[in-house]
Amino acid sequence: MHRERFYTLAASCPDQVGIIARITGFFAEHRGWILESSFHSDGEAGRYFMRIEVRADSLPFGIDVLRQKFAPVAESLAMHWKLTDSTQKKRVVVLVSKQEHCLYDLLARWQSRELDIEIPCVISNHETFRGFVEWHGIPFHHVPVTPDNKVAAYRTVTELFDAAHADTMVLARYMQILPPELCAAYPGQILNIHHSFLPSFVGAKPYHQAYQRGVKLIGATCHYVTADLDQGPIIEQDVIRIDHSDSVDDMVRYGKDIEKAVLARGLRYHLEDRVLTHGNKTVVFR
């Protein structure tokens, strides 16, 4: 990965002739130095996807002016788009319950700057990890969730997320179903790690379901959260082979390694604006 400050354009538009010429021509007109570019044409959807990184110091203006100048081009192409600055760290709020492995892994990657992000807080429905989180210097919020207080609890979660000026919410084995209103408020901003190779074994205890089914592969899925349980657009997946001698406990142990890796990769792709959604599908520029 290059270290220069750069701006990232992530966009999609109806497919047509001349899209690349229009976009690259725009940057060339302003002496923009393209560092990386990725393109994909979805013939079935009739849609074109792109991700372009441009060296910031090659342009004669900052990102706010760049957005203003690019807007007419985007409008002419009926484009969904965003421009981001590599120096602006993304702010990630982590939600967790009693499973520690994904939380531990994310905080280790954050502390080592493998994930160069800010974590303004961790929210949990249990007190279990308060000491661990606060030891890292990160605020910890205990928001209990019961059948009787869900509306108030998720109102509090929303308030904490907004107060943190966060970009992304990560459910690191949070093990709670978010209400539809919360999912709708932050489309494409909430990531979940599900401990199965979706669409197989949705819902609770997927390893037990897999054991009963006698599968030979188990996996994990990082996906965006929608109101439909475990049905959101998939960002990243991976699997590991098992056999008849493996118990449910063995599968859970193997699965934790896959879950950590898949969540970390999926979150990185999201933070680097490498994931573009269309309907319930994604284009991921690795």
Tell me, what amino acid is at 13? C
Q: For residue 10, what are the β-bridge partners?
A: 51, 82
Closest by CA position to 130, among listed 156, 96, 92: 96
Would the CA dihedral through 213, 226, 265, 162 be positive or negative? negative
Q: What angle do CA 85, 86, 90 make, to 5 degrees?
A: 90
135 φ, ψ (degrees, to nearest 5): -60, -30
116 is catalytic: no
CA distance 161 to 93: 7
The string of DSSP letters for 196-229 reads S-TTSS-SS-HHHHHHHHT-SEEEEEEEE--SST
44 φ, ψ (degrees, to nearest 5): -65, -40
Identify whether 199 is preceded by a cis peptide bond (ω within 30 of 0): yes
Choosing from 116, 230, 243, 257, the catalytic residue is 230
19-37 burial, b if ≥16 CB within 10 A, otherwise e?
A: beeebbebbeeeebebbeb
The string of DSSP letters for 103-153 reads HHHHHHHHHTTSS--B---EEESSSTTHHHHHHTT--EEE----TTTHHHH
* Residues marked as catalytic: 230
